[in-house]
Structure 1
């Protein structure tokens, strides 16, 4: 039978979790430039209380068992230290969120291996050994920096079923990092994970289509009640693009730049999420380390709200 956690969860720091994800994907050399400093300062003007520092290391394919986190293009530790320092200067709490991507473009949710080991084939154990080494290094860094929340994984849908391996990793992270930990499940997965008791905070990517927020909040509510944990939409957002409110997770959707579509979605989502008592906060996706010029905002169709109508919506909800 799967093991369960017997210790009380570590609490989130008090106060609202009004967050924006900054710096994705964390390419080496991009986090310590004057542009990066200006970008985080501009983000802080919208009134967030937290910043999620999200960055990725690469593995070659979805079936690779080596993660290249020590070398470029992965961030160097000094860049993470610099970003945390600036966030503190701006009065922001910090969530550190190391992630993996596949160099061939396959989404990390498809990382997976045979259920039972086969000689000569890559295995879950080999992958989790490499992943744990990567995550534990950054958990130790989070402890050194006094980070307020640490995320042990993001949208690993096929890997989610490896319950005992995640429980073991969570316990190993707790041994080196004394703050609260979370896991960021993908959309529609909140009621499918079976090891929420191993983390302190339940988190998900809330890319739900416009008009469906009531439905999905009702589906998630029993999960939060059953586990008695804080809950965050640690990712949520929408490109400023025609049609994106109906498919907010689809960054490749073709459409014309549309600030109003993004603004309307953000208003709907933030009203629904922050107006739900058991939702402890939202982290918006996302804000790059290098911003486009403000005068080009009307032509930008990505998730960032800088210079767009959506920025006014976010500031109204966050302040």
Structure 2
């Protein structure tokens, strides 16, 4: 389960955050992605000021890692870049080649690499079991040489496994899977497409020889969301039953494929709503909803099978 997104400064390392993480662990979660965002101004900016607000501080990140470990969970540290004006990070992009006096991929990757390598040093110092070096960077995915250089820099300071979280439908388009240790993607597939998409992804995983899991997957608890689970703004009334229906199909499909290593579900906030508010909550978090009970049972069964 992903915890703490978007990592707004001041929301981690609080009593409420500690309660939230404990409740998440109580639901059978044994891995958590601690996800936080640094913000660049626009999709064409080349500076990523990861040490500034609103990003959580290093102390907050260390607190979250230690808290998760104390609860028996393994940690994937997941630093992510967002765009302050609301543009989705998939659209961050520049000319394919560097042009004088224009913002460039070289400039952007220099800043992005400082951000990721800084996180890698924290992950190494705190014994994080995995590091995710990027999330849904669709336009950047084609910059193979830059990604390979970044992985090399990360390996100089971090000794654990490295993954990259590609976006949905991109698993068979990334050309540098051999550079990372684990393949992962965002599995926000429509409820009636799970088998089709798993059939498409399977040859990629087989050819790579790498482990695979869904770094993100889930569905809002609202009417209509199972057909479009990646749209958190979709209009619809709150519905825990709809979220449960999606979870049932997602787990069924993924458990039938032995190459799917697991689901890092999206998501569990640092400031958790009260249980009696769950019926009116239409977001991704399953807490207090029918999907939470189902998820807990499925995770327990998956754990028993892995023994």
Bin of the TM-score, shorter chain as denominator length:
over 0.9
Pair 1:120 & 2:101 matched = yes
Deviations 1:115-168 (A, max 9, x none): 122222100000000000000000011000010000000000000000010011
2:118 aligned with 1:137, yes or no? yes
Q: Please list the CA deviations of residues 227-259 of structure 1 after superposition, one character each: whole Å capped at 9, or x if unmatched.
A: 100001010000001000000001111111010
Shift of 1:316: 1.2
Counterpart residue number, 2:27:
46
How many residue pairs get matched? 300
Q: Provide the secondary structure at the position in 2 that maps to 1:168.
A: helix
Question: Which residue number corresponds to residue 278 of structure 1?
Answer: 259
- How far off its partner does 1:262 sit? 0.3
Per-residue deviation, 1:310: 0.9
Match of residue 33, structure 1, among 10, 14, 17: 14
Structure 1 CA distance for aligned equivalents of residues 46 and 285 of structure 2: 33
Q: Determine the structure 2 residue equivalent to 1:168.
A: 149
Aligned: 1:252 with 2:233:
yes
TM-score by length of 1: 0.93
The corresponding residue for 1:103 is 84
Residue number in structure 1 paired with 2:137: 156
Measured on the aligned residues, the alpha-carbon RMSD in Å equals: 0.7
Q: Which runs of 5+ in 2 are unaligned?
A: 301-307
Residue 71 of structure 1 deviates from its aligned partner by: 1.1
Instruction: Give the CA deviation at 1:107.
Output: 0.2
Output the CA distance in 2 between the equivalents of 1:272 and 1:56: 31
Alignment partner, residue 55 of structure 2: 74
In the aligned structure 2, how far is the partner of 1:88 from the partner of 1:64? 36
Q: Is the 8 A contact 1:274 1:282 kept in 2?
A: no
User: Counterparts of 2:105 and 2:240 in 1: how far apart (Å)?
Assistant: 43
* Greater relative contact order (Cα < 8 A, sep 6+): 1
Alignment map for 1:207-286 (pairs within 5 Å): 207-286=188-267
Tell me if structure 2 keeps the 8 A contact 1:183–1:199. yes
1:297-312 alignment runs, 5 A limit: 297-312=278-293
- In the alignment, the residues of structure 1 paired with residue 99 and residue 208 of structure 2 have an alpha-carbon distance, to the nearest angstrom, of 36
Following the alignment from structure 1 to structure 2, what is the Cα–Cα distance between the partners of residues 136 and 283? Answer: 23
CA distance in structure 2 between the partners assigned to 1:116 and 1:224 by the alignment: 30
